[in-house]
């Protein structure tokens, strides 16, 4: 892979993060909420979610979209060795791996869903990360990509992740003081206080 692949990966990875938040926002809109999203967040404009069911449906939308991106990219790679398809697959895998790592501090999408469904905090994150890693490993093997390509791809995606989180944080600092950020890995919802904690969960990519 030449330098062009890594420049393309930077763009694809950034779009993957934003599309993940877009999936959260779209799910909220379909449920009747006036949703807002930024580079790394999606939240109801006013209030929280009306029920825990709505909260986990919006939570679920992000990982489902990102997993679907990975599966589609892998399906393409089985027939055509497109660099952009590998970038899409790698970005999706990196994103869910990074979010799972953050779950050590704040439960991410899959971790919160896993807890909500009584499976323990690490069950769903482990299943998702292992499944996407298996697809990425097989695709890398098919394309005969060495460890150096994947290490550099990891570094590139890490740069994107840090940049998006930092830029989103700069925007959060400029928001009015009466708005609270209820943080959780995977996603974050911002809601005016007071809102019952159970339904004020948010959505953040990583």
Q: What is the pLDDT of residue 202?
A: 55
- Outline where DSSP puts E strands in 26-178: 35-37, 41-44
Give the helix/strand (H/E) hosting 84: helix 83-102
Per residue in 34-45, pLDDT (tens digit) is 998 888 888 898
Q: Answer yes or no: is pLDDT of 179 > 80.
A: no
Q: How does residue 174 score in pLDDT terms, banded at 50, 70 and 90?
A: low
Q: What average pLDDT score do residues 89-105 get?
A: 95
Q: What is the pLDDT of residue 183?
A: 31
- Highest mean predicted confidence (pLDDT) among 12-26, 107-121, 192-206: 12-26
Per residue in 102-129, pLDDT (tens digit) is 989 888 899 999 998 999 999 999 999 9
Contact predicate 100/86, CB 8 Å: no
Per residue in 50-86, pLDDT (tens digit) is 888 999 999 999 999 999 999 999 999 999 999 999 9
Distance CA 191, CA 189 (A): 6
Q: What is the pLDDT of residue 106?
A: 86
Q: What is the pLDDT of residue 52?
A: 87
Q: Which of 154, 100, 151 is nearest to 127 (CA)?
A: 100
Residue 177 is given by DSSP the state T
What are φ and ψ of residue 72, in 5° steps? Answer: -65, -45
Q: What is the pLDDT of residue 195?
A: 37
């Amino acid at each position: 892979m030449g330098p062009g692949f890594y420049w393309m990966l930077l763009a694809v990875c950034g779009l993957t993060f934003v599309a993940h938040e877009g999936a959260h926002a779209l799910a909220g809109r379909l449920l009747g909420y006036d949703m807002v999203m930024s580079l790394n967040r999606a939240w109801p404009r006013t209030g929280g979610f009306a029920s825990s069911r709505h909260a986990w449906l919006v939570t679920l939308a992000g990982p489902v979209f990102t997993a679907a991106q990975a599966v589609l990219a892998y399906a393409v790679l089985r027939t055509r060795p497109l660099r952009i398809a590998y970038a899409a697959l790698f970005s999706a895998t990196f994103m869910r791996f990074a979010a799972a790592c953050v779950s050590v501090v704040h439960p991410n999408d899959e971790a919160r869903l896993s807890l909500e469904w009584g499976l323990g905090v690490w069950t769903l994150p482990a299943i998702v990360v292992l499944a996407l890693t298996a697809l990425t490993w097989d695709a890398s093997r098919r394309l005969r990509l060495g460890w150096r390509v994947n290490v550099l791809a990891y570094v590139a995606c890490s740069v994107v992740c840090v940049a998006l989180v930092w830029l989103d944080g700069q925007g959060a600092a400029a928001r009015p003081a009466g708005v609270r950020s209820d943080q959780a890995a995977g996603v974050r919802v911002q809601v005016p206080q007071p809102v019952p904690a159970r339904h004020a969960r948010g959505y953040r990519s990583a």
